Every structure is written in structure tokens, then in C-alpha cells.
Structure 1
Amino acid sequence: MSNPNSLVARVLKSKYFANGDFLHSSLGTRPSYAWRSILHGRDLLCKGLVRDIGNGESSNVWSVNWIIDPLPRPPNYRTDSVIDLTLKISDLLLLHSSSWDVARLRHAFTDYDTEIILRLNPKLSQEDGYKWGFTKDGVYTSRSGYKFLDSLPDENGELQPTLPLLEKKLWCSLWKIKAPAKIKHFLWKALAGAVAVMDRLRSRGIQILNHAASCKFLDLYHLLSQSSKNPMDNRIKAFPWIIWHLWKARNKLAFEGSQYSSVSVLSKAKEEANVWWEINFPHVEEPPPQLLDQRARNSWSKPPPGILKCNFGVSWVNNQSPCGAAWILQDDKGKTILHSRRSLHSVASEREAELLTVQWVVDDMINTHQQRIIFESSCALARDTFLNPMEFRALLPLTNDINCRLHMLEDWSFQHCVQDKNTIAQDIAVSVTAGHRYQSYIAYGEPSWLLKRIACEAEA
């Protein structure tokens, strides 16, 4: 109704109500299961629909529901007034205006209904339509439908009983379990009676006791409550998969004649549950104390106050592949100031790649007006080249250029560190070589995942 030009709306209209509208359509001949289901819910929909007043020209005052109190209905007329059965809503508006004719309203309707009508805002520029009366935007939702259904009186004029407290808790807890969406949806369908098991058994002459449904609720409520109390208990956390695989095994038996043992069903359910939990909630084992001490010794260390530390990393594979390089600048509190990464092409050796990276890093520090810097890296080949420059004469022009650039900084030093102290810069360099599409930037402030990792290392 809200989207009559959609493909499904046009298909249904052409087949079932080509010359009418949806609200007054019939079941028709040879209706599909989908159409039967739609008409089954139409009665509830009609009870909650209210006229969305536009110019009011197509809406009869007495034959459509256009006020809500608390259910949609037509307004009540005054007993001492003359009733015009052809009266339209547009006749209640001032000429060429979207304002109500208050005098005419008070003359035609009860005072109570007049006040309700005066709170409505007609949209003069559009035609009259329908909207769902129990959401702010007029669009139907499942939640509003269930709430509206609870408020409807039964045939005796009494309100329908709401769900017991136990079942309300069950419905709320159902969507909070840790399981794939398809399994949660299956459990919801099972509780809602949408899985046709009982009807199929009754059709085969098997009698189902009336207390079966309540047992089903109580059993599942027990499992859900235990799951919330002990979410990591291996005996509990696999129960959604067990129910799901029991249902699949039942279908295999009913429709394909394939029979599975209870042991195989249980084993497969637990296996899938363990895989899902491992992917979505990976278990991190607590390292032994000696390993923690080693990590603390090898973790990134903060520079002295007033000094910045620039960690850089290099990843070279061969002279045919791009070489990745990255650097991260942090202050004495461990806060990231700047960060950048790049790729180098046609680099003959890993030693040359490390020296080119040093040249690039120093150049970036000069261009960003940094002065007091500690350069830290796990590049052993660059360190060896600077300590023994005459042994690598082919690289002398490069090392001399780096030394010249370093004199443009106020204070600087180089520190060689183990790999664990340089993991952030090195990992980004590796990602460049591997072709990962990390965003290239020089980030001021907080580059999200980098800051989290650096903060963890600094705390360690």
C-alpha cells in the first residue's frame, strides 16, 4: 500500500485486484500461499489503518476511520445536529486553506471528538491515503503490530490477555543469545508456531498433548537463562546449534529418507558451534609469567620528556616487487603525532631499501619541522652500513646524503631495537608490500587502530 509501484505490488494487483484495491480484494481462484498469508494479516492491518488526510475530497466523514481513540474510528455526531451523509472531510476545511472550520466542527461532532480533530494537520497539497495509526511516521512495524494486537478487545469486549511474564522474558532473551542470525530466527519461528511440526503429526494420526507448548517454553527458557549466566560454558553455548541440527536431521529423514544417529547430529552441532565461537569470540590464552616479562622488556619504550621518537620499518622481498616503508612519530606520552607509509620501486637489495627508507624518514622530519628526534628501527643492514661505510662504497652517495640531511635537525640519534619494539611500523611496511589497501595519509590526532595498538604496547 505504501509503495504501489513496486514490482510485487504490481504483480499482486494484476492477478488478484486488477479493478479494485487491496483493502477490498478477495481471495480469488487458486490463490498462492503468499497471497493467503497476506490476506490473513489484512484484517489486523485494517483495524490499525487510519485515513491520512490530504485535501479531504475523497474521504466521507462517516464511512472512514480518520481519528484515533484509542482505536481508529469515524467521529461521533451530535445528537441535536442535522446529519449530512454525503459530508466529506474537505467540507470541514476553510476555503482554500488547511485550517479547520471550528464552528462547523462543533456543530457536527461531539466536543470530545472536535478536540481530537483540531489536533490533526491536513496536507492540502496531496490526495487522501492510508497510514498505520500506531507509529509516528505512519509506517507499519512488527513491534507496533504486536503491541496493537495486545490492545484489541476480544469478541466479548474484553482486552486480550497479554503474554505471561515468563514468556515475555523468553522473547526478550531469545534475540540476545550468541548464535548466527539464521538460528535465532529459526528458534523464533519455532516458538511462534511457524514451524509446522504439530500439525503434520496430527495429520498423521499422532496426538499431541496440550501441555507440549508450555513444556517447550519452559525448556527453552531454562536454556536461555543458563546461557546468560554462564555464556562460556561448553555444555550450554552449543544448544542453539543442537536444536538447529535436530531440525535439519528431521527434515532429511522426512523428505529424503536419510537417517542420522544422535551421536553424529550432536557432534556436527558442537563442531559448528566451536567454529562460530572461535571466529566471533576468539579465545586468547593467558601467556605464562615469564613470557609477560619478556614482552615487557621487548615492548616499545617512551622517549625522554621533550623528545620525539620516530619508529620506521622496511619490507623488501626482491628487486621485482615494490618495497614497503612506514614510519610513526610519537611523543614522550606515547601519543601518535604523525604517521606515513609509501612504496619504493626497483630497489636492488634489502640494504639499499633500508637506506632509502632512512633518507625518506629524515626528509619527512625536516619537512614537518621536527627538531629533537630519536630514530628507532630494527633495520640491521642500515645500521651495519652506517658503522662500516667504506665496506659498501656503492652506497656511499646515499649514506653521505643522509648525513647531510641529519645536520638540518637540532638534535637527533639512532637506536637499533629488536623486532618486538618496532612492530607497528614494520607491520604497516609489510602491508604495503603485500598490496593491502591501507589509506595513505599523514594523520594528526588519533589514527584509530594505530593508536590502540601503540597504547597497548606503551602500557605493556
Structure 2
Amino acid sequence: MTRVMYGVAFGEGKWDADRVRTIMGEDLAAVILSIPLSHCPSNDRLFWRCSKDGNFSVRSCYWLVRRGCVEGVVNVISEECWRSVWRLQCPPKLKHFLWCAIRGNMAIIERLLYRHITSNSDEEKATPISSFADRWLWLVNKLSAENNRKAAALMWACWRCRNLQLFEDVWPDPVLLAAGFCRLADDYTRHMQNVRPLGGCNIRSSCLRWYPPHFGMVKINTDAHVLSGNMAGLGVVCRNYCGKILMIATKKIHYTDPKCAEFQAIRYALSIARRFNYDNVWVESDALGVINTISHESRGFSPIFSVYDDIRRDRSLFLSCKFSYVKRNGNTMAHLVAREDTAGDEELIRVTNFPSSIVTLAMLDISN
């Protein structure tokens, strides 16, 4: 018999979704359901949402006040935006432009009115249907990395052209200006690609591709993928010392943020390994920050540490259990499995009849 209290189904480690929606309504329910729960019964605890570890600090409170509103605290999409910006291969000035646009720091009439700098609201009547952050994240998921860089450069050029006209009464050729900004971004990217190898790379060769485990050990690759409708997919791929696929699994969860989703993917991998009675496991992920947190045995009060505590407990149940980081090109199978359709079910596990695309990728991993 499962005891249900305050929307939590103790014993299963997951929310009673129907009850949460009934009590809190759809909008708040989406935020609540995205909070991960521990698989083990535990007491409720308070945490400070504005810091990564859940501990209150004056610094985090200061930045909350500087932000000017609380809505950014519950904006679960912002971390994915920051991640996409900092990974963009482009000049730092272009990243700073995107950072300002996503934060809403651009000197448009809407912001000037909010800060009481101007009272004229007729100069710019066109306002976006949604925020720049929403538009940018949508664009990132639609275009390649190269096209995202070009799109960002074109936005930057549009902003520069607009400022020249409004503040300096200069009317540049927009085509030439855009071409120059795109060329600047491309030249910077080529330069950095040529310079970085000469400076020495700290990434070990073992992080660059998939390697098989030792005999008697199962290697489990994991990944998380953001889906539509505030959902995320967790992907797990288990292979033996020959590189043979033993099992693949996909699970759907309520999305909260990228790091938390990656943590839940690793927790799901360990739970799958226990269900299939694997004794010696090697868990691999392309989320470096998550692997470092596990390695350093970090502590905190935020919900993400409930997931980490589950991982810490589960790893002690194996004869041997190690974790490692691999670049995305060595984790492609798990990424593809995370995108699988579960046909309405919470999870989908396969031990035979694997998709041809998965089998092909497994053969490529072995041959490389």
C-alpha cells in the first residue's frame, strides 16, 4: 500500500501528478512536477532556490534584487539558454550581446519605461510575442551550431544598425554591415580552432571517443534530451566488453534544468543496472559538471542533491561502480536513445530488436 501525502507518493519517489494538478492548477503544477524527488523516503526540507547548492548567501540575494523581479527564479528555461550561449563558437562581444538580450538589459523602450528613464512609449510599438530567451532557445534547437553563430551575428548587426540610426543619425548599408559581422564571427572561430590545439588540451584521449569496458564489466552510457511540453527524455545504453548492446532504455520525466536532467539520467542508469543484476558497472556521461559533482561528493539542500544522494547510495550496492566523462561524439548512442518515443508509456526498455540506427552507431564505436 502506497501512502500519499501532499502530492507525493512515498515508496515510489515520484509526484502524484493528478493530485498536484487538482490542488495547485496547471501552471504551478508544471513547476512542482519538475522538482525531482529522492527514491528513498525523506523529510521535507527548505532550500534557497537562487543558489546552486540551495544554501542562502548574501551574494545570491543581491543578484536577485538586481534582477528586479522574482519571475527569473522559476524560469526553468534560462539555464538552457545560458548553456547554448556559452557553448557558441563566436567572439566574446557577440556572447555578451546575446547575454544582454536574454537578460532583458537592452536599451529598448520597454526597459527604459520600467526603469523610469523615459516616459515616451510611442517610439517602439512593436514588441515580441514572447521573450528573446524563448525565441533564442527555439532557434538553437532548429539550427546547426554554424547557422546559430550566423544568426547571432545577424542579430548583432541589426542591433548595431538600429543604434547607429537612432543615436548617431548614421544610415549604414545593412547588407555590408551584416556581412562584416558574419565575417568577424567566422574569422574568430577559425582562429580559435587553429590556436587551441597549440596551447595544449587538458582533455584526455579517453574522453574523446567510446571505449569498451574490461571483461566482466558493463559500460552504461547516459544522456538527457529536452522534449516539447516541459518534458525530457533520459537515455541509457548498456554494452559489454565486446561492444555488444545488452539493453537500451528510454524514460520520460518532467523537465527542470539541464544539469538536473543529466543527474536523473545517471540515477536511472544505476536503477536499470540493479534491475538487470549487473554487478560491475562503468557509467559514462557527456555532462562534465555532473561527473565532477559525483566525483567531489558535493553536498547541498536543493532538490538536485536528492538525486545525487540516490546515486551515492546506489553506487555502494555494486561490487564496482565508476563514473567518467566523454565528449558528445563518444556518447551519441545515449543521446539518440534519449530522443526515442515511448508511445505514451513512462519508459521503454529493449533487450532485442534494436533500431538499425543504434546498431550502426555501435558498430562505428567499435571500429574507431
- Coarse TM-score class (shorter-chain normalised): 0.3 to 0.5
User: What TM-score, normalized by structure 2, do the two folds share?
Assistant: 0.40
What TM-score do you get using the length of structure 1 for normalisation? 0.32
Which structure's CA Rg is the greater one? Answer: 1
| Higher RCO (CA < 8 A, seq sep 6+) | 2
